[in-house]
């Protein structure tokens, strides 16, 4: 039977009609085989942006994109722990994955976490881990299984053979102003997670100045879509809507964030908001994956994994299994920037606001991210000791510390941070870091 013509499928969606599963399959097949041109794929993407997709269409698109490439199977391993994972929509200073994966592993799960690189103003988990000398983000399946058996977790990059339809479609969307579609974002994220053969997933959907979803309404729309579609595709999922109106933790920058994660796992320093978010995500995943009966038991297990040092040990095993140093827990071996400059407050006051997105862009400008895909990252640069909303600073006291490659770059960054952090006369009320948890019941609202 011949496939439906691309122009007919485009016309249907352009005119606001839902697409049948067979038509969506034809589109995805055309992305992989080249049967659809870039112009045709872009036209359908634009039609989806303007007309939207219902839940059934989005499930069909997600599943078709998952089937477009390799899907990990775990059946041949016999009895194994629950296969679980977490995904974040991205933020500034978001190093939660570095702690969550070994904590959940220490609690009995297997976490084959497929992560990404920095995108725009947000940092990438793979870029952070590559601050560690020798760390490899590409593993064969046998190497992945061996790492899971040893450490219980592995943080890797996506193989080119995983969801290739999404890879091509995303590149087209990136240059045709068609990124902003809840359906397309949902299918892009979940197709890769379904390809990992997961049994449970938690999503961290961020909202605020430093997030893709700037408003709570947009974040909730995306979170509900992710839960509905994942559940529709057979993957139990919960989504947390979380705050990104300030840097998460006290660092932003690749090696600096790895160091903060190590300090967290060691117990030498744990930022309160970062700890609340990490503990909540871990607990939700343990319950969803059947590793704890309820949130109270899950929280107790997370605390035990941290206090006993087992979570740190799991992180060390993972790093060593993936080519990094064996003693990362005791000797971080992380590169340090040659220039460090304190950012003094220009006047006294309470920290009332920060331009989080622009702070993320500043880290990229220092060399901690990419302007183009081929750029080399400087893992040393970034910000540490970043103040938090509600903190009090007197004139001359530090708002942050800039880590830079040159004196000139440091001086420019100091002036930028002073401009991007606002001090006022009144303290702010404390904002929660977790606004809402959405689950299967929420998806029926």
**Residue 125 designated active-site:** yes
**Residue 192 designated active-site:** yes
For residues 339 and 382, the answer to whether their CB atoms sit within 8 Å is no
Catalytic residue among 89, 125, 242, 251: 125
- DSSP for 165-196? HHHHHHHHHHTTT----HHHHHHHHHHHHHHT
Reported for 406-412, long-range contacts at CB under 8 A and 24+ positions apart, including other chains, are: 406/339, 407/339, 409/339, 409/366, 409/367, 409/381, 410/339, 410/340, 410/341, 411/341
For residues 126 and 95, the answer to whether their CB atoms sit within 8 Å is no
- DSSP for 287-322? HHTTSSSSHHHHHHHHHHHHHTSHHHHHHHHHHHHT
Q: What are phi and psi of 219, to 5 degrees?
A: -60, -40
* DSSP helix/strand/coil, 214: coil
Catalytic residue among 13, 117, 192, 314: 192
Catalytic residue among 86, 95, 220, 250: 86
**Residue 86 designated active-site:** yes
Catalytic residue among 62, 88, 122, 159: 88
Alpha-helix runs per DSSP H in 16-115: 21-33, 38-51, 55-67, 96-106
Q: What is the dihedral of CA 141, 146, 150, 155, to 10 degrees?
A: -20
**Residue 303 designated active-site:** no
Give CA 121 to chain center in angstroms.
13
Catalytic residue among 66, 97, 188, 278: 188
C-alpha span between 104 and 281 (Å, rounded): 10
C-alpha span between 319 and 325 (Å, rounded): 7
Residue owning tokens 């303290």 = 427
**Residue 206 designated active-site:** no
For residues 369 and 377, the answer to whether their CB atoms sit within 8 Å is yes
Q: What is the dihedral of CA 418, 422, 425, 426, to 10 degrees?
A: -140
Catalytic residue among 95, 128, 167, 193: 193
Catalytic residue among 13, 87, 95, 228: 87
**Residue 85 designated active-site:** yes
**Residue 13 designated active-site:** no
Catalytic residue among 13, 95, 117, 173: 173
Tokens matching residue 208: 């605020």
Catalytic residue among 13, 68, 85, 228: 85
**Residue 188 designated active-site:** yes
**Residue 150 designated active-site:** no
Angle at 171 between CA 167 and CA 175, to 5 degrees: 165
- DSSP for 310-357? HHHHHHHHHHHHTTS-TTTTT-------SEEEEEE-SS-EEEEEE-HH
User: Do you know the residue count of the chain?
Assistant: 445
Tokens matching residue 195: 């390809």
Active site residues: 85-88, 125, 173, 188, 192-193
């Amino acid at each position: 039977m011949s496939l439906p013509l691309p122009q007919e499928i485009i016309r249907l969606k352009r005119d606001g009609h839902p697409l049948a599963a067979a038509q969506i399959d034809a589109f995805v097949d055309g992305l992989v085989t080249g049967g659809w041109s870039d112009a045709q794929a872009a036209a359908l993407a634009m039609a989806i942006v303007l007309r939207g997709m219902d839940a059934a269409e989005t499930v069909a698109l997600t599943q078709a994109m998952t089937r477009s490439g390799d899907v990990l199977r775990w059946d041949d391993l016999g009895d194994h722990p629950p296969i679980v994972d977490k995904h974040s929509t991205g933020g500034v200073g978001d190093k939660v994955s570095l702690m969550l994966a070994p904590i959940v592993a220490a609690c009995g799960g297997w976490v084959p976490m497929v992560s990404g690189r920095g995108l725009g103003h947000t940092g990438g988990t793979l870029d952070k881990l590559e601050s560690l000398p020798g760390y490899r983000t590409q593993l064969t399946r046998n190497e992945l299984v061996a790492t899971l058996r040893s450490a219980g977790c592995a943080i890797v990059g996506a193989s080119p053979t995983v969801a290739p339809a999404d890879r091509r479609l995303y590149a087209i969307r990136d240059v045709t102003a068609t990124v902003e579609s809840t359906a397309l974002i949902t299918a892009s994220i979940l197709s890769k997670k379904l390809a990992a053969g997961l049994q449970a997933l938690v999503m961290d959907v961020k909202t605020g100045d430093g997030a893709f979803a700037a408003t709570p309404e947009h974040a909730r729309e995306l979170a509900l879509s992710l839960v509905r579609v994942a559940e529709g595709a057979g993957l139990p999922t919960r989504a947390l809507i979380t705050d990104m109106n300030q840097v998460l933790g006290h660092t932003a920058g690749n090696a600096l964030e790895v160091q903060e994660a190590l300090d967290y796992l060691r117990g030498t320093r744990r930022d309160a908001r970062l700890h609340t978010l990490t503990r909540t995500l871990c607990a939700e995943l343990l319950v969803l994956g059947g590793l704890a009966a309820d949130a109270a038991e899950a929280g107790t297990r997370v605390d035990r994994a941290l206090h006993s040092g087992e979570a740190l040990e799991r992180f060390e095993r993972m790093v060593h299994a993936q080519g990094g140093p064996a003693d990362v827990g005791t000797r971080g071996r992380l590169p340090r920037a040659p220039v460090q400059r304190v950012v003094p407050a220009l006047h006294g006051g309470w920290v009332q606001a920060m331009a989080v997105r622009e702070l993320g862009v500043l880290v990229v400008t220092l060399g901690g991210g990419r302007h183009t895909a081929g750029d080399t990252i400087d893992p040393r640069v970034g910000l540490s000791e970043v103040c938090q909303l509600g903190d009090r600073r007197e004139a001359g006291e530090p708002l942050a510390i800039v880590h830079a490659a040159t004196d000139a770059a440091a001086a420019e960054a100091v002036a930028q941070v002073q401009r991007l952090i606002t001090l006022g006369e009144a303290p702010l009320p404390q904002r929660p870091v977790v606004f809402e948890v959405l689950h299967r019941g929420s998806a029926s609202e």
